[in-house]
Amino acid sequence: MGKDITLTASDGFKLGGYRADPAGSPKGAIVVIQEIFGVNHHIRSVCDRLAGEGYVAIAPSIFDRSQPNFQSGYSPDEVTNARKFIANPDWPAMLRDTQAAIDAVKDVGAVGIIGFCLGGSIAYMAAAKLSGLSAAVGYYGGAIVRFADDKPQAPMQLHFGEKDVGIPLTDVETIKSKRPDVEVFIYPGAQHGFHCDERASYDKASADIAWPRSLAFFAKHMKK
């Protein structure tokens, strides 16, 4: 359903990515921002699912500046290796690359963004700092609490797992208190990465609630 693409950021940097197009006329477009595991099989499958829902879906490879074409699985060793990308994240560069993805699909119509883990934090920052978004959804973004003083310029929905060892509920409560304008959902018993059906932390019951909730949010805010 999808294909590999090349994007060009505002500073001229060329990065890879993945794009999936719906069978019929698109409802709009959704930018999908990866976890620390790159634009891997799971992120591509998210794009394919969104295309199946009628959206053009595009996932920029935001690690290409440091390691082109990086993709990873979820074994303990792979997780340890992937963490190197967030030791000292270049947020401005990742936002430039995210903006390149937004710009690449804005001709389709309304553009939304969804991100997971690192991508959840970037989705929040994109809603606050980038242009051209109609809606934003973030899953378990650990850095969101650090940027919660920045007001999203697009409607924002956030999803967190109750048992996420990397994101204490005190952080989620801080976000809720600072950003009453943002929809925040907490999933009982769910861990970090609960949406990814390729991870040991996958929680089908939570994912089966969060995903339709995300789609309904996009449908509400991305009407033609």
Among 97, 117, 159, 203, the active-site one is: 117
47: annotated active-site residue: no
Q: Are 105 and 18 in contact (CB under 8 A)?
A: no
From residue 169, give the alpha-carbon distance in Å to each of 54, 89, 117, 204: 34, 23, 15, 21
Q: Are 118 and 34 in contact (CB under 8 A)?
A: yes
Residue 2: CA atoms inside 13 Å, Cβ hemisphere, count?
25
Categorise residue 54: left if φ over 0, alpha if ψ from -120 to 50, beta otherwise. Answer: left
117: annotated active-site residue: yes
203: annotated active-site residue: no
Determine the Cα–Cα distance for residues 99 and 133; give it in Å rounded to an integer: 10
Q: Are 115 and 122 in contact (CB under 8 A)?
A: yes
Strand ranges across the sheet with 55-60: 2-8, 14-20, 55-60, 28-33, 111-116, 135-139, 156-161, 183-187
**Block residue for tokens 């994109």:** 126
Among 21, 64, 97, 164, the active-site one is: 164
Closest CA to 154 of 188, 115, 192, 126: 126
Q: Which helix (H) or strand (E) holds 82?
A: helix 76-82
Among 47, 64, 159, 192, the active-site one is: 192
Q: Which residues are catalytic?
A: 117, 164, 192
